[in-house]
Chain A
């Protein structure tokens, strides 16, 4: 209440200034009159009385000013005056204003664009309530090398669900491809089998219809499906009567009970969700880690507390079921963190780079402002002489810098809508298919707030820098000086320091950009061990009903391969269960070596399992290290064979005698047949996050056929021209089979690391902008200082100085400044490269070519920045430059 009164009072003081002033006059006047009357009554003469009264009262004007101050008007008034003045100043020099606003808008805009990415991808990848309480839960075996898939055994998940006190709910799910439709018109559709509480845990509700009920988790009662919004719109044409209708999935009839909202795409963009109805046998399985799990923490339970509980849980299971669960650690990770575990450092690097660009822009601008300040020295000195305090001068500068930084902020906000949309749409859709949240990148309140804060921060920073820069004004000296004023040595030092800082930031940024781009290039070449060029990949899923046994499956694929291989221009056609760069982990399996003593389950080694046809190794040109590759004789009736990777061979048979040994899948007591190792092939990088030497067991397709396989075709010409031919072959064999994931292997590789590529490109852009900004900065400072020395250069030339010596002098100055910057920046750049090598995939170590190259580049820029102003100064007739003031 009091505050409100106070504000209304202040407003009246501000807006009815004249009336308030008049009243104060009257009030003081009354006092003096009253005092005169008092003195007159005491017997003084009128003159004496007036004189005494005024003397007693003191300086009327001074008290009026104090009254104004007491009313709190003065501060606001002077601020308004400063803003007005600042506005006029900026309007008087439109060139400066435009340049500074644009430079800042560029720097701020770059930051908001990157922040919009960070905001969408890192901060809000999913639109779930209380996202931070959602955690992924899985069982970690600890002995598997490299990145492991995150799965949990069904029975363990069931135990965890019923015994823990830290989760509100724990849902399990598994992504699966279904065949949609009836025979003859069968289409593959990606779906997800989910436990009944899946949507509850995510706290998601359907856009229409209902969710899965608990009773529908039972086998037999599970034939209900929930569609994604995209599927409803695309596949079913947005049919408003769809609920209650039935569809056929894998030849079973499912009733559509619900449609999810548009933005719901967990765990990956699938088209439908069906209940995960496990048979009692499947439910009791503790061996296979076959399900994904997601849980919601109870309110107030921290991730670390839940971690402790899970550790205790794993320990109990280990004791209770040592055969299956020994060495397994139940682990959790926040959903938000899981998504961007690998790319988080890149995002942070990018945001830091954008920040660096803004700093460079600020440094350039500070240079401009300081240069202007030299021109305004007399004005400032005059103000100081007339009694403007440091605070008052500071307010003046601050209101000026805030004016154009806010203008830049507004400009950046206005353009951010367009630039962010451009950022989102300029990236091909294929690149972003593995980037969850990409379509959510947009300008929202957070981004706008960030932009305005950045703008205000910049304004404050520049204003304070100006205040510090001009704090030691000596009015006496400055006002006595003639001419336009020159920079004092101290001020020149400040500006030199700015150049040094710019060179520093530019080098660091360029080196980081170089490393990021190199990281991307390296990542592309990280797919070693095979030749991706000229290979076409096509995924095929055979429907279970028509292809019910191994013979049918084998027949289909053998026919397909034979027909494809006979196409002209096709060198090899083959099958593999999980092609490289699929962005999906291979199935992992335990294996046992024959003749080894029985191992505890926690020590049983695991390997990736791949099913491959005989031509697979030739199609991808994977080298044969020892033994032989599969042949057509490795069929169902031949002795079970396996080919293993070099990494596996050298790890488990270090003497190089792997050939002829026998292994079997699963632990010691598994019922799997013994497989004879017939060959060792080169290591292949499966996905960019997998280690190259991860053990891989290849089994011949003829001995373990599967319905879902990827066909790989090596061609002599452009592989995309073979798509229709392969499609025709399949149609002739079975028109009901759809082809998916048609792409060249090279493009698939590029897509799989697209986020790294996008970040690399953005880093490259920032590097170029940094180079441009710092060049402008160095050039600006040098040309300014040369221009100030035109007089001196004229005298020297007139006295017969050698122009070459003068040129050396000026270039020497340029090189000195740049050199200092480089000397400081090089160790920083080396340190940052080291850190990046730890954090970022693909970046291996400090790259001295990059360091050396950019150092030389910056030195060249400095030479250019010195050369041109110097030549201009020297080409001036000495007589003219001597007259030059």
Chain B
């Protein structure tokens, strides 16, 4: 298996939250979306996506609902909760601060 760029610890959560912020999505679609949007740079390990989704659901950042998929199968759709939205905002701000800071250090050194 080709080894894509390893995700920094905790960033998978952020990517999932951001991805489903637009619309409710099922697991497979989330993986696809992340891959496409990142222009194939970020490859989510497909199996590993699900423990993350269940954990986020356990923490009530997201909720799940069964629905009809694009190919007419029953699929579990995840969407952001209210607290999940807030959490995403703060995490995104954190991330931007962090990456900007790292960028600063790397560029000035």
Given A31-B27, A66-B51, A69-B51, check contact A56 B46 (CB 8 Å): yes
Is the Cβ of B51 less than 8 Å from the Cβ of A31? no
Contact of B71 among A6, A34, A60, A70 (CB under 8 A): A34
Is the Cβ of A30 less than 8 Å from the Cβ of B58? no
- Tell me which residues from 36 to 92 in chain B have a Cβ below 8 Å from any Cβ of chain A: 45-48, 50-52, 54-55, 57-60, 66, 69, 71, 73-76, 83
**Residue ID in chain B nearest A72 by CB atoms:** B58
Contacts A/B (CB < 8 Å), 17 sampled: A2-B83, A6-B59, A9-B57, A9-B58, A10-B58, A30-B27, A30-B28, A34-B28, A35-B46, A56-B1, A57-B47, A58-B48, A59-B47, A63-B50, A66-B50, A67-B54, A71-B57
Does B33 count as interface, using CB distance less than 8 angstroms? Answer: no
A185–B27 CA distance with the chains assembled, in angstroms: 99
Instruction: Give residues in B with beta carbon < 8 Å to A.
Output: 1, 26-28, 45-48, 50-52, 54-55, 57-60, 66, 69, 71, 73-76, 83
Is the Cβ of A70 less than 8 Å from the Cβ of B54? yes
Is the Cβ of B1 less than 8 Å from the Cβ of A35? no
Is the Cβ of B76 less than 8 Å from the Cβ of A27? yes
Q: How large is the interface on A (under 10, 10 to 19, 20 to 34, 35 or more residues)?
A: 20 to 34
The 8 A CB mask of A4-25 against B (1 = contact, 0 = none) is: 0110011001000000000110
- Tell me which residues from 681 to 705 in chain A have a Cβ below 8 Å from any Cβ of chain B: none
Given A33-B73, A35-B28, A37-B71, check contact A28 B50 (CB 8 Å): yes
A residues in contact with B57, CB < 8 Å: 9, 71
B108 to A: closest C-beta gap in Å: 40
A residues in contact with B54, CB < 8 Å: 24, 67, 70-71
**Residue ID in chain A nearest B27 by CB atoms:** A31
A45 to B: closest C-beta gap in Å: 19
The 8 A CB mask of A41-64 against B (1 = contact, 0 = none) is: 000000000000001111110110
Contact of B26 among A2, A10, A30 (CB under 8 A): A30
A residues in contact with B58, CB < 8 Å: 6, 9-10, 13, 70-72
A347–B8 CA distance with the chains assembled, in angstroms: 60
A residues in contact with B1, CB < 8 Å: 55-56
Does A26 count as interface, using CB distance less than 8 angstroms? Answer: yes
Given A33-B73, A69-B51, check contact A5 B60 (CB 8 Å): yes
B residues in contact with A10, CB < 8 Å: 58
Is the Cβ of A31 less than 8 Å from the Cβ of B52? no
Contact of A34 among B50, B66, B69 (CB under 8 A): B69
B residues in contact with A6, CB < 8 Å: 58-60
- Tell me which residues from 150 to 194 in chain A have a Cβ below 8 Å from any Cβ of chain B: none
**Residue ID in chain A nearest B26 by CB atoms:** A30
Is the Cβ of B74 less than 8 Å from the Cβ of A26? yes
A residues in contact with B28, CB < 8 Å: 30-31, 34-35
Given A6-B58, A27-B76, A34-B71, check contact A70 B51 (CB 8 Å): yes
Is the Cβ of B51 less than 8 Å from the Cβ of A63? yes
Contact of B69 among A30, A55, A72 (CB under 8 A): A30
A residues in contact with B60, CB < 8 Å: 2, 5-6, 9
A residues in contact with B73, CB < 8 Å: 30, 33-34
Closest 5 CB pairs of A and B: A58-B47, A66-B51, A70-B55, A70-B54, A63-B47
Given A35-B46, A37-B71, check contact A27 B51 (CB 8 Å): no
A536–B71 CA distance with the chains assembled, in angstroms: 108
B residues in contact with A57, CB < 8 Å: 46-47
A residues in contact with B55, CB < 8 Å: 70-71
B42 to A: closest C-beta gap in Å: 15
Is the Cβ of A70 less than 8 Å from the Cβ of B52? yes
B residues in contact with A60, CB < 8 Å: 47
A387–B26 CA distance with the chains assembled, in angstroms: 34
B residues in contact with A31, CB < 8 Å: 26-28, 46, 50
Q: Which of B47, B75, B83 has the most CB of A within 10 A?
A: B47
**Residue ID in chain B nearest A55 by CB atoms:** B1
Is the Cβ of A30 less than 8 Å from the Cβ of B47? no
**Residue ID in chain B nearest A1 by CB atoms:** B83
**Residue ID in chain A nearest B47 by CB atoms:** A58
**Residue ID in chain A nearest B63 by CB atoms:** A5
- Tell me which residues from 365 to 422 in chain A have a Cβ below 8 Å from any Cβ of chain B: none
B residues in contact with A13, CB < 8 Å: 58
A5–B82 CA distance with the chains assembled, in angstroms: 12
Given A6-B58, A71-B54, check contact A30 B75 (CB 8 Å): yes
- Tell me which residues from 51 to 93 in chain A have a Cβ below 8 Å from any Cβ of chain B: 55-60, 62-63, 66-67, 69-72
A31–B46 CA distance with the chains assembled, in angstroms: 9
A residues in contact with B75, CB < 8 Å: 27, 30, 34
Is the Cβ of B27 less than 8 Å from the Cβ of A27? yes
A residues in contact with B52, CB < 8 Å: 70
A240–B9 CA distance with the chains assembled, in angstroms: 79
B residues in contact with A63, CB < 8 Å: 47-48, 50-51
Contact of A67 among B26, B51, B71 (CB under 8 A): B51
A24–B57 CA distance with the chains assembled, in angstroms: 13
A34–B45 CA distance with the chains assembled, in angstroms: 15
A9–B58 CA distance with the chains assembled, in angstroms: 7
A13–B76 CA distance with the chains assembled, in angstroms: 16
B40 to A: closest C-beta gap in Å: 14
A6–B45 CA distance with the chains assembled, in angstroms: 26
B residues in contact with A62, CB < 8 Å: 47
B residues in contact with A71, CB < 8 Å: 54-55, 57-58
Is the Cβ of B45 less than 8 Å from the Cβ of A58? yes
A28–B76 CA distance with the chains assembled, in angstroms: 10
A residues in contact with B27, CB < 8 Å: 27, 30-31
B74 to A: closest C-beta gap in Å: 7
A26–B66 CA distance with the chains assembled, in angstroms: 11
B residues in contact with A24, CB < 8 Å: 50, 54
B95 to A: closest C-beta gap in Å: 21
Given A9-B57, A26-B76, A70-B58, 4 new contacts (CB under 8 A) = A5-B60, A35-B28, A63-B50, A71-B58
